[in-house]
Amino acid sequence: MDRREMLGGVGILAGVAWRPASLGASVYKEVNMLSVEERLHAIEEISVLKARYFRFADTQDWDAFRDLFTPDATLFYPEGQEHPLPRDESIAHIKTVLAGVVSVHHGHMPEIELLSADHAKGIWAMEDLLFFPPDRAREIGVESVHGFGHYHEEYVRRNGRWLIHRLKLTRLRLERRSPAIAIS
């Protein structure tokens, strides 16, 4: 009996979807050659990478945020962009949108699939809350935003470190709360 059989067959192994039919034989063999410990370690490193993404966005630590991505990464947030943008252009846009805003980002239930020893993809359920300062809320007519959706991402390991290479946010719901209006 091999390790996969001992740990649940060819179904799900600690978040890694085994899909030999969808992967080329050489890629499947490369992933299969990794030990269970190596696969779990890679998944944990990617999970920590995403936790830092949320924390650095909320604390507005833009230098640390930038370092989570490959230099040639693209990011796509459809509510504010028409198409994917290069890393630095996208981060400049995020900095402008979140200036003075208190944000709370949460990621849940990751589905991480190792495609090779240095390549993976993942989907994260997400929820975010944005609270705009009073003067900006009056100006834009939005006091807060509460969103739900999924991050679809591609990761690569470079120099032993996992990085986000592609990111796309899809929204399921976006609720906007307008500032209160005084009624006399």
Q: What is the mean pLDDT of each run of 10 residues along the chain (184 residues)?
A: 39 41 53 87 98 98 99 93 95 95 97 96 98 94 97 98 98 92 73
**In this predicted structure, what is the pLDDT of residue 26?**
53
Residue type, 144: S
**In this predicted structure, what is the pLDDT of residue 5?**
41
Please state, rounded to an integer, the average pLDDT across all residues of the chain.
87
Q: Which residues pair with 158 in a beta bridge?
A: 161
- Residue corresponding to tokens 């924390």: 55
Handedness of CA 17, 23, 25, 28 (dihedral sign): negative
- Residue corresponding to tokens 């799900």: 12
**In this predicted structure, what is the pLDDT of residue 34?**
86
Q: Domain residue spans in the chain? A: 18-177
Alpha helices (H) in 99-184, listed in sequence order? 134-140
pLDDT tens for each residue of 109-136? 999 999 999 999 999 999 999 999 999 9
SS3 7: coil
SS3 90: helix
**In this predicted structure, what is the pLDDT of residue 8?**
39
**In this predicted structure, what is the pLDDT of residue 10?**
38
Handedness of CA 112, 113, 116, 121 (dihedral sign): negative
Give the global pTM: 0.81
Range 18-177 classified under CATH 3.40.50.300: no
First to last CA, the chain: 77
SS3 32: helix
